[in-house]
Chain A
Amino acid sequence: MTRVVDAEGAHLDAVLRAADFRGRRVLEVGSGEGRLTWGIAPLAASVLAFDPDAEYVAQARADCPDELRQKVRFEVASADEIEVQRQSVDLVFFSWSL
Chain B
Amino acid sequence: MEPEGVVDVLRKLLQALIPGGVVVDLTAVPPNAQVEVDGAVLGELDGSAFFPRAEEATAGLHSFAHGGLLLLEGEERLSILVGYPSGRDAVDDVAERTYTRMPAELARRVETIAGPVAIREHSLVRRFRKVA
In the complex, which range does the number of interface residues on chain B fall in?
A: 35 or more
Point out the residues of chain B lying under 8 angstroms from A8, CB to CB. Answer: 80-81
Contact A3 B18 (CB under 8 A): no
Contact B76 A79 (CB under 8 A): no
- Within B58-111, the residues touching A (CB, 8 Å) are 60, 74, 76, 78-85, 89, 92-93
Contact A94 B26 (CB under 8 A): yes
Contact A94 B16 (CB under 8 A): no
In the complex, whether B13 has a CB less than 8 A from a CB of chain A is yes
Could you tell me the distance in whole angstroms from the C-beta of B43 to the nearest C-beta in chain A?
A: 18
Contact A3 B13 (CB under 8 A): no
Point out the residues of chain B lying under 8 angstroms from A93, CB to CB. Answer: 23-24, 26
Contact A14 B76 (CB under 8 A): yes
Point out the residues of chain B lying under 8 angstroms from A82, CB to CB. Answer: 12-13
Contact A6 B18 (CB under 8 A): no
Instruction: Tell me the count of chain A residues lying within 8 A, CB to CB, of chain B.
Output: 37
In the complex, whether A70 has a CB less than 8 A from a CB of chain B is no
Separation of A90 and B22 alpha carbons in the complex (Å): 7
Residue positions of A touching B, CB distance < 8 A: 1-8, 10-11, 14-15, 17-19, 24, 27, 29, 36, 79-80, 82, 84-98
A-B contact pairs, 11 of them (CB 8 A): A3-B84, A3-B93, A6-B80, A10-B78, A14-B78, A17-B76, A80-B9, A87-B18, A90-B18, A92-B24, A96-B27
Given contacts A11-B80, A92-B22, could you give 8 more A-B pairs where the C-beta distance is less than 8 Å?
Answer: A3-B84, A11-B78, A18-B24, A80-B5, A85-B16, A87-B17, A89-B21, A96-B26
